[in-house]
Amino acid sequence: QVQLVESGGGVVQPGRSLRLSCAASGFTFSSYAMHWVRQAPGKGLEWVAVISYDGNKKYYADSMKGRFTISRDKSKNTLYLQMNSLRAEDTAVYYCAKEGYNYDIDYWGQGTLVTVSS
């Protein structure tokens, strides 16, 4: 079955960087686009970024553009999110998600919490 396991979250100071990882299994990782979605404490879901199945196309929400970088390693079946210049408002649970066939998300990880605080 499809499994998405995020890691790399934690407490980080404002202005610092953090890299999240998402280990994928149970499907052909190199055939599907992958997303990051975040959720600030007590708030709704916010789409962060998507990367195409082959890694050639990457798109970002405006508020993350220029600070966050999505990438993937097909040899490791792993998705990444490099987050730079972190701000307090980036504090959230970050979910890794697999795209389906119809511009939808069909599977979600359990999330990893990032806390930006001094």
Partner 1 sequence: QTVVTQEPSFSVSPGGTVTLTCGLTSGSISTGYYPSWYQQTPGQAPRTLIYNTNTRSSGVPDRFSGSILGNKAALTITGAQADDESDYYCVLYMGSGIWVFGGGTKLTVL
List of residues contacting partner 1 (CB under 8 A): 35, 37, 44-47, 50, 57, 59, 61, 95, 100, 102-111
Q: Tell me whether residue 38 or residue 80 sits nearer to partner 1 (CB atom).
A: 38
Shortest distance, position 69 Cβ to partner 1, whole Å: 15
Which among 115, 110, 114 has a CA at the least distance from the CA of 22? 110
Output Rg (C-alpha) for the chain, integer angstroms.
Answer: 13
Shortest distance, position 14 Cβ to partner 1, whole Å: 25
Strand 34-39 vs strand 105-108: parallel, antiparallel, or unpaired? unpaired
Shortest distance, position 48 Cβ to partner 1, whole Å: 9
Q: Tell me whether residue 86 or residue 109 sits nearer to partner 1 (CB atom).
A: 109
Q: CB–CB of 38/86 below 8 Å? A: no
Shortest distance, position 89 Cβ to partner 1, whole Å: 16
Q: Tell me whether residue 27 or residue 47 sits nearer to partner 1 (CB atom).
A: 47
- CA 96-113-110 angle, to 5 degrees, is 40
Q: Tell me whether residue 11 or residue 59 sits nearer to partner 1 (CB atom).
A: 59
Q: How far apart are CA 89 and CA 62, in angstroms?
A: 14
Q: How far apart are CA 65 and CA 102, in angstroms?
A: 24
